[in-house]
Structure 1
Amino acid sequence: MAGIVREFVGLPSPLVGRAGAGGHPCQGVYHRPAGAAPTTAFIAAHYNVDFSEHYLAEHLAARGHGFLGWNTRFRGAEAYFLLDHALAEIGVGVRWLRERAGVERVVLLGNSGGGSLMAAYQSQAVEPNVTPVAGMRPVAAIEDLPAGDLFVALAAHSGRPEVLTNWMDPSVTDEADPLSVDPELDPFDPANGPPYSPEFQARYRAAQRARNERVTDRVLERLDALRGTRARDRLFNVHRTWADLRMIDPSIEPSDRRPNRCYQGEPAKANYGVFGIGALCTLRTWLSMWSLRTSQCAAAPHLARVAVPSLVIHATADEGVFDSDARAVLGAISAEDKRLELVRDGHYLPESRPLAADLIDGWIRER
């Protein structure tokens, strides 16, 4: 878009040094209108996805705001993610906006998986609660994070452990064999559905949670076995994570989404492919990000500490975030000033970006 200035921002991390090739750990692109210094700016970050050129950055800059699409050192490196480290590096971006860009109000934009991450940031900033994962040292830099002034949850998931568990294929009988299957729980066996009976859905959801707990048990056992060895951690795979029944059966939580679709296309094919959330983990990353028992990346506890004005935007044709997810996010936010808006589009808003930008801009200007 004409009239938009884009500034590359590369900054040190309080935890690690620059890469050997010279890159800063914390990087992003600041978008702003030419000839103006915005008083309000957004910052958006994700667990893994590169948000430096976020799809709303230019649209919001064109409406007079700043937008820092921000990356921690875990962009493209989800397998090594540690929540407390990421929060410290998001804080680097927030401080840059206040101290270098001259911004008076910072809006935390939690998009997609970044919804729970930015909620965790605000939660830690106002009431420190995040602790190190097993065997790691405390991170001093998260004890004094600058808080955001407003919060926007855009097509936001309910948290990393919840979304992985909801998408897990519980018919896996052997974690080392991606083809292993219990036919009684196989979502792609026509004998089971779709449509899926309420009884099957209940068994399936319970089995998904049980699979997550089994992985956690195995991770804790492996970490314990590493004590006294030369290794402190190890890698492992999690197979088949595109099997939320709602993706396959549109009669479960009806919406505007296309039936039998997920973010990777047809669920049956995606589920047996090699691209999936949580597909590669370290033991400690599993505990930090994906485990129902130990992860601090669940949104609800953090949203309960979000008391600033908050806007939730739900895409009604989203292939992976459902109406119940959006309403749960809204309900968990403690702010009295909070609103839910609906946009009829898919997860990345391919047709509705100007509309979403108008919604957010209008909401910001009302405050």
Structure 2
Amino acid sequence: MTGIAREFVGLPSPLVGRAGAGGHPCQGIYHRPAAGPPPRTAFVAAHYNVDFSEHYLAPYLAERGHGFLGWNTRFRGNEAYFLLDHALAEIGAGVRWLRERAGVERVVLLGNSGGGSLMAAYQSQAVEPNVVPVAGMRPVEAIEDLPAGDLFVALAAHAGRPEVMTAWMDPSVTDETDPLSADPDLDPFDPRNGPPFDAAFQERYRAAQRARNERITDRALAGLEALKGSRARDRLFTVPRTWADLRMIDPAIEPSDRAPGRCYLGDPAAANYGVFGIGAVCTLRTWLSMWSLRISQCAAAPHLARITVPSLVVHATADEGVFDGDARAVYGALAADDKRMEFIRDEHYLRNSRPRAADLIDAWVRER
């Protein structure tokens, strides 16, 4: 693409200093039209873990006259240590840069993929402070006065970190220290159970997934309690087998345009027993901050209920990990009176529809 200027942006964090090697903790790339006046409207996108500096929509939206800050907190590629309140403070640094340095009048919060609940949490905290520190951590003053966004877009967005972890995790795990342990009565890859999976199995399976999440939360809380008075404040642990959503295995559950028997890493059975997965490595506090159904503040719904600015939900109907019910839950939870839901027939990363997605989002923004 031509006619697009790209500017590296490195900023200090309100919480940690610059790295000894020189890198700023908050980094990203600002995309804008190379000619003409500075954009009055700009998007900002960030994720819990994935590097969004070169986000796939950035050049397309810059071509259409907007700014786009693909933004990273210090947790990019560093999910094992994620803390929500710290990340929100560092997203705030990027939003302030757009308003104060880039001259932007309107900021569009783009919540893409896992970043959907993160950007929802940002807007929620900006308009009605509600996020508290995870156990044993001090409050972060920088999140008490975050600059709010003017518009909100959820693009192929998950319903929240604890929700997606629970929906994807394999509840047949009987020993968290043994990645091969399995209760055959809950094993989604045992052909005696399906597919197809009958309603009774689905109900037992979903209940067992929630129970596994709660057991890990109990273990994390007990682990922090056990560390009191010791030389350590936290510790690492692993979470095996998190590619086992029944919808990935049985296409008859929430039918869509997705390819059958697929997850983001291909074959769910192979991915489930591999070493790459969401939350595969955590600290005790990171589990509580990001993944715990009981304690995490990364669930989208409570934050979406505080979003009243105009909002757009774009669902990719062939998505292998965000399903129709997830997208509709995001839309339903939004408190905005002015909200719209649109559908694009493509997979999660919109590899075949990026110009169309950019046109759709650009038109919606211009209408407002």
Same fold at TM > 0.5:
yes
Give, in whole Å, the separation in 1 of the partners of 2:3 and 2:357: 20
CA displacement 1:200-223 (0-9 Å, x = unmatched): 000000000000000000111110
Give, in whole Å, the separation in 2 of the partners of 1:222 and 1:33: 51
Give, in whole Å, the separation in 1 of the partners of 2:327 and 2:213: 23
Alignment-derived partner of residue 41 in structure 1:
42
Letter in 2 for 1:130: V
Report runs of 4+ in structure 1 exceeding 6 Å deviation.
none
CA displacement 1:218-254 (0-9 Å, x = unmatched): 1111100000000000000000000000000000000
Give, in whole Å, the separation in 2 of the partners of 1:352 and 1:205: 33
Give, in whole Å, the separation in 2 of the partners of 1:281 and 1:20: 25
Give SS of 2:287's match. helix
CA displacement 1:140-164 (0-9 Å, x = unmatched): 0000000000000000000000000
CA displacement 1:30-80 (0-9 Å, x = unmatched): 000012300000000000000000000000000000000000000000000
Gaps of 5+ in 1: none
Alignment-derived partner of residue 349 in structure 1:
350
CA displacement 1:328-353 (0-9 Å, x = unmatched): 00000000000000000000000000
Letter in 2 for 1:330: Y
CA displacement 1:271-330 (0-9 Å, x = unmatched): 000000000000000000000000000000000000000000000000000000010000
Q: How does 1:66-215 map to 2 (within 5 A)?
A: 66-215=67-216
Gaps of 5+ in 2: none
Letter in 2 for 1:245: L
Give, in whole Å, the separation in 2 of the partners of 1:34 and 1:5: 5
CA displacement 1:7-30 (0-9 Å, x = unmatched): 000000000001111000000000
Alignment-derived partner of residue 31 in structure 1:
31
Letter in 1 for 2:24: H
Letter in 1 for 2:167: N
Say yes or no: does 1:3 pair with 2:11: no
Say yes or no: does 1:240 pair with 2:241: yes
Letter in 2 for 1:34: A
Alignment-derived partner of residue 303 in structure 1:
304
- How far off is 1:108 after superposition? 0.1
Letter in 1 for 2:59: E
Q: So what's the TM-score if we normalise by structure 1?
A: 1.00
Give, in whole Å, the separation in 1 of the partners of 2:218 and 2:365: 45
Give, in whole Å, the separation in 1 of the partners of 2:341 and 2:35: 33
Give SS of 2:97's match. helix
Letter in 2 for 1:32: R
Q: How does 1:262-277 map to 2 (within 5 A)?
A: 262-277=263-278
Report how many residues are paired: 367
Give, in whole Å, the separation in 2 of the partners of 1:335 and 1:361: 19
Identity of aligned residues (%): 83
CA displacement 1:167-193 (0-9 Å, x = unmatched): 000000000000000000000000000
Give, in whole Å, the separation in 1 of the partners of 2:326 and 2:65: 31
Letter in 1 for 2:31: H
Alignment-derived partner of residue 293 in structure 1:
294
Letter in 1 for 2:249: I
Alignment-derived partner of residue 56 in structure 1:
57
Give SS of 2:69's match. strand
Give SS of 1:142's match. helix
Give, in whole Å, the separation in 1 of the partners of 2:351 and 2:91: 27
Alignment-derived partner of residue 340 in structure 1:
341
Give, in whole Å, the separation in 1 of the partners of 2:261 and 2:16: 43
Alignment-derived partner of residue 324 in structure 1:
325
Letter in 2 for 1:84: D
Q: So what's the TM-score if we normalise by structure 2?
A: 1.00
Give, in whole Å, the separation in 2 of the partners of 1:142 and 1:267: 38
Give, in whole Å, the separation in 2 of the partners of 1:350 and 1:251: 25
Alignment-derived partner of residue 216 in structure 1:
217
